[in-house]
Amino acid sequence: MNSRGNRPIIVVITGAESTGKSALSQALSQHFHGSYFPEYAREYLENKGHGYTYQDVEEIAAVQFSQMKQAIELDTPVVFFDTWLIITRVWFEVVYGHMPAWIDQAIREAPVDLYLLCANDIPWIPDPLRENGGENRVMLYNRYLSCILEYGFKYHVISGTGQERQENAVRHLVNFLR
């Protein structure tokens, strides 16, 4: 059926705001003939309008969790997620000081094969949903990296601008898939 026997390889693209996660996820999905889950939080918040609550973030997390269940059933060699629960966990901790208990277990048990952590080496571009440029962006990157290390996940930091960033990600994935 696919390279994992019963499920595709799962790759999560993560990182701070405005680090090219969406463009990279789409490009990698096309390059590797895989499937792609866009950033659900953006879709949710664009439809909701301004502001969000703890309950909104938990609803986003629940959909992200269900998307992972959908992903493992796909008949495709690889699935790319444009963000996932690591970002949501950190968001809960930074904004609210705590997270729902189920998120830690969901992250631990998810069949994510590789995280690609986007470096902050491209300019932050403001938009109506982005809140964290400057030092906050650096702090969030460090929190995402700490979470990945805490869980012991396989990861690569993806750096570079434009096409170079995509080529670096492709190179890491090709090496990983060998």
Domain residue limits, the chain: 9-134+148-177
Taking only the tens of pLDDT, the chain with its 178 residues reads 344 458 999 999 999 988 999 999 999 999 999 999 999 988 888 888 778 899 999 999 999 999 999 999 999 999 999 999 999 999 999 999 999 999 999 999 999 999 999 999 998 776 656 666 668 889 999 999 999 999 999 999 999 988 999 999 999 999 999 8
Question: Which residues neighbour 167 within 8 Å (Cβ) at sequence distance 6 or greater?
Answer: 160
Question: DSSP string of 103-115?
Answer: HHHHHHHS---EE
Kindly list the distances between the CA atom of residue 172 and the CA atoms of 33, 42, 114, 144, 169, in Å, as whole numbers in the listed order: 16, 27, 10, 19, 5
Helix/strand/coil percentages in the chain, nearest 5:
50, 15, 35
Q: How far is CA 71 from the centre of its chain?
A: 14
- Write down the pTM of the prediction: 0.92
CATH homologous superfamily of 9-134+148-177 equals: P-loop containing nucleotide triphosphate hydrolases (3.40.50.300)
